[in-house]
Amino acid sequence: MAWDFSTEPEFQKKLDWVDEFCREEVEPLDLVFPYAVRSPDPKIKELVKGLQDQIKDEGLWAVFLDEDLGGPGYGQLKLALLNEILGRYPSAPQMFGAAAPDTGNMEMLAAYGTEEQKQRWLVPLMNQEMFSAYSMTEPQGGSDPNLFKTRAVRHGDQWIINGEKWFTSAGRAADILFVMCVNGMFVVPRNTPGVEIMEYPSTHNHIRYNDVRVPLDHLLGPEDGARVLAQRRLGGGRIHHAMRTVAQVKLAFDIMCERALSRESHGKVIAEHQMVQEAIADSYAELNMLRLLVLWTAWTIDNSSTKQARTQIAACKYTCAKVLREVSYRALHIMGSLGTTSLTPLQAMLAGSPVMAIADGVDEVHKVTVARNVLKAYAPHEGLWPTEYIPAKREAARKKFEPLFQKDPELRELADGIGRFARGRGASAAAG
């Protein structure tokens, strides 16, 4: 039986390298040149290329992909440990070629794309020669595919797409859009005539598809296969979001603890106040419960499949939003007025928690999924009393010992006496 919480030494060296590299190289570049990875400036692009070459030399490029697709083939558990570091730094996932929404879109291309589609889109996405967005949510139906209206109609050698999408993250900056229609998933170049991107919101874009025409080979996977592709994409995306959320919660926790030891109130360091200690203790427990849930889920995916881990992924999804909200709020509160400004990451973390609770399906939907799947392992009890009704269990236990009681009457008397004593104690406890 294997039961271990340690990391193999060789991979720990990789984690240590990533930790130092992000702290010493990636974060400074991001602070001086925000969004450097997507910058069109040739000088900034050269700085990014220098760092990414180092990442590739370490075998850490596109860490979410299997070896046959150009990644290191680490699997989800090792990816979770890596994301506990990458998630602390806004640009680190992109710097390592492992940022959403590209990761989920690349996985769909790898799984369902033709060889020609892979060469046209997957390879450039992996090399960051282009970027993508996932256009699924609709204004009237949210993320419920049963309410979607966007449809592609076949006309000659083209598909004509009409519909309206909302909250297409990074849609304005994407080169290609993965559009979920009621009858299939389609890859649409952003500059295709008829793609109309609204001015607001600025980052999670509102897009209208007005008679957008794409060739027949822009259908990804089978016709009417959008739901299957979406479920695969969102399952992987949700667990990756949870992995990076662990990193964000750990960062908030570190900020909280440092501040608690640095600030004074009412004549003593605030870490000595019991309510601050309670906040730290609760945050410590919640952080580690989330982390273990995510690691267990990643292990399950590696040892079975994303489908088999569906219940765990759903639990990770709503738990990570809740823990991020609670811990970032406590950290912001302990930070004081500074925490309410944009001068620390805390305000952005707190603001991001409700987004995490809505994106990729609202938390309530995932809680329903968990409850339904969990209840499949249970059945209603027979008769009036539940399985753990103690008098019934005691009676069944006495029947088990009846042959022994017949051989030894004194043992029966002993059992009777102990039983009367136990029942008496139970009655006294209930009365008290």
Give the bridge partners for 158, in sequence order: 155, 215
The single-letter code of the amino acid at 22 is C
Specify the pLDDT at position 235.
60
User: Which residue has better confidence, 233 or 99?
Assistant: 99
3-state secondary structure of 110: helix
d(CA 189, CA 198): 16
d(CA 206, CA 11): 42
Region of residue 264 (phi > 0: left; psi between -120 and 50: alpha; otherwise: beta): beta
Specify the pLDDT at position 233.
66
Confidence of residue 428 (pLDDT cuts 50, 70, 90): low
What are the Cα distances from residue 369, in Å, to 163, 328, 363, 364, 373?
28, 27, 10, 9, 6
Q: Which residues contact 331 (CB under 8 A, 6 or more apart)?
A: 252, 253, 255, 256, 259, 283, 339, 346, 349
The pair phi, psi for residue 45, each rounded to 5°, is -60, -35
Give the bridge partners for 163, in sequence order: 209
Q: Which of 328, 327, 334 is nearest to 264 (CA)?
A: 334
The DSSP symbol for 72 reads -
Question: What whole-number percentage of the chain has pLDDT above 90?
Answer: 71
Confidence of residue 242 (pLDDT cuts 50, 70, 90): very high
- Arithmetic mean of pLDDT over the chain: 91
CATH code for the structural domain at 132-220: 2.40.110.10
How confident is the model over 114-128, as pLDDT tens digits?
999 999 999 999 989
Give the bridge partners for 219, in sequence order: 186
Confidence of residue 323 (pLDDT cuts 50, 70, 90): very high
d(CA 164, CA 166): 7
Give the bridge partners for 186, in sequence order: 179, 219
Mean pLDDT of 166-184: 93
What's the count of helices (H) and strands (E) in the chain, helices before strands?
15, 10
Give the bridge partners for 215, in sequence order: 158
3-state secondary structure of 60: coil
Q: In what order do the strands lie in the sheet with 184-189?
A: 132-135, 176-181, 184-189, 219-220
d(CA 380, CA 368): 19
How confident is the model over 42-68, as pLDDT tens digits?
999 999 999 999 999 999 998 888 877
The pair phi, psi for residue 197, each rounded to 5°, is -100, 120
3-state secondary structure of 385: coil
Q: Which residues contact 28 (CB under 8 A, 6 or more apart)?
A: none
Confidence of residue 186 (pLDDT cuts 50, 70, 90): very high
DSSP H helical segments within 99-171, as ranges?
102-112, 115-117, 123-126
d(CA 40, CA 62): 21
d(CA 202, CA 67): 36
The DSSP symbol for 90 reads T
Q: Which CATH superfamily is domain 227-375 in?
A: Butyryl-CoA Dehydrogenase, subunit A, domain 3 (1.20.140.10)
Specify the pLDDT at position 232.
67
Looking at the domain 9-113, which fold is it? Butyryl-Coa Dehydrogenase, subunit A; domain 1 (1.10.540)
* Domains in the chain: boundaries: 9-113, 132-220, 227-375, 384-416
366 has pLDDT over 60:
yes
How confident is the model over 64-89, as pLDDT tens digits?
888 777 778 899 999 999 999 999 99
* Residue 1 burial by Cβ neighbours in a 10 Å radius (0-12, 13-18, 19+): exposed
The single-letter code of the amino acid at 150 is T
Residue 342 and residue 367 in contact, taking contact as beta carbons nearer than 8 Å: no
Mean pLDDT of 17-36: 96
